Amino acid sequence: MTGRRFAEIRAQGRGALVGYLPVGYPDVPISLAAMRALTGEGDAPGVDLVEIGMPYSDPVMDGATIQKAGTRALQRGVRTADVFAAVGAVAATGTPAVVMIYWNLVERYGADAFARDLKNAGGAGLITPDLTPDEAQEWFEASDAHGLDRIFLVSPSSTDDRLARTVSSCRGWVYATSLMGVTGTRTQTSSLAPALVRRIRTLDPEAMVGVGLGVSNGAQAREVAEFADAVIVGSALLNPLLTADDAGRPEDLSGLRTVVADLAAGVRSGTSLASQGLSGS
């Protein structure tokens, strides 16, 4: 379902924007307000898909920014079940939501129960940073039973065999990590990403591909949107929330709104290769 949304946006001649924020930071109510702010308010454009992160004690795919927010969120008492409230809040805006979560939390909740509650809250699917198709039997079953998207990650280091298997295991879209590294903003976009997206498209011309890791501003989002279906941004959105929290104004979302506006303008300013029919579909 999120894949269809990306395709519609591509047909409009631009790349989709995916915005990540963790639930529970700076606290649960403000994080929900921040996610609503991501979706755009009034006439202001926002993200096309919200990626709701669930804080975890051992987030091996995350860099310092997301770790810091996650640690504080856990200290302030965020629980797995808060994810469903966040999903509901985003879904109510009409913008779809997926959840990004480390596997132990899902397993602990029960894969099927998690899928059921995610679906009931209006969620569209799951991104699993430390679960690959190799270990995902339970998740295949639960996501099939509840009609949820399964978004697995691929990497520049993925072999052709693994790439083929992962792409065919995904439903919705494929999360291409643009570089060898963890989350966090970078000053330059990755040179490895275009080749990875090309490899995916060669395997499956219909695959929808989101590219994430390291995108920090509208200009970079524009660059990525020229070769991918979607641009995923996380740390750059979180930074203004950390700044506001540190300044004693955790409820201040103005910095976040500025970053969202820049990113949303970025994906709208390019000439998407996809819209010119060069993406292979």
Catalytic residue among 41, 43, 48, 51: 51
60 in contact with other proteins (CB under 8 A): yes
> Contact region for other proteins (CB under 8 A) — 5-13, 36-44, 60-68, 197-205?
60-68
| CB nearer other proteins, residue 35 or residue 83 | 83
CB 266 to other proteins: min, Å: 25
> Tokens standing for 213?
């890791």
Q: Which amino acid is located at 34 in the chain?
A: A
Does the active-site annotation cover 62? yes
**Burial label, 216 (beta-carbon count in 10 A; 0-12, 13-18, 19+):** buried
| One of 13, 76, 135, 205 touching other proteins (CB under 8 A) | 135
| CB nearer other proteins, residue 43 or residue 161 | 161
| One of 157, 243, 254, 269 touching other proteins (CB under 8 A) | 157
CB 93 to other proteins: min, Å: 27
Strands 16-22 and 230-233 come out as: parallel
| One of 11, 33, 44, 104 touching other proteins (CB under 8 A) | 104
- C-alpha–C-alpha distance, residues 119 and 116, integer Å: 5
Catalytic residue among 41, 43, 58, 62: 62
169 in contact with other proteins (CB under 8 A): no
Span 105-124, contacts to other proteins by CB under 8 A: 105, 107-109
> Contact region for other proteins (CB under 8 A) — 13-21, 89-97, 131-139, 268-276?
131-139
| CB nearer other proteins, residue 59 or residue 125 | 59
Positive/negative CA dihedral, 59, 128, 81, 89: positive
65 in contact with other proteins (CB under 8 A): no
* Strand partners for 17: 231
- C-alpha–C-alpha distance, residues 195 and 198, integer Å: 5
| CB nearer other proteins, residue 76 or residue 108 | 108
Answer yes or no: are the C-beta atoms of 96 and 210 closer than 8 Å. no
Catalytic residue IDs: 51, 62
**Contact footprint for other proteins (CB under 8 A):** 56-64, 67, 71, 74, 79-80, 103-105, 107-109, 129-132, 134-135, 152-159, 162, 166, 177, 179-182
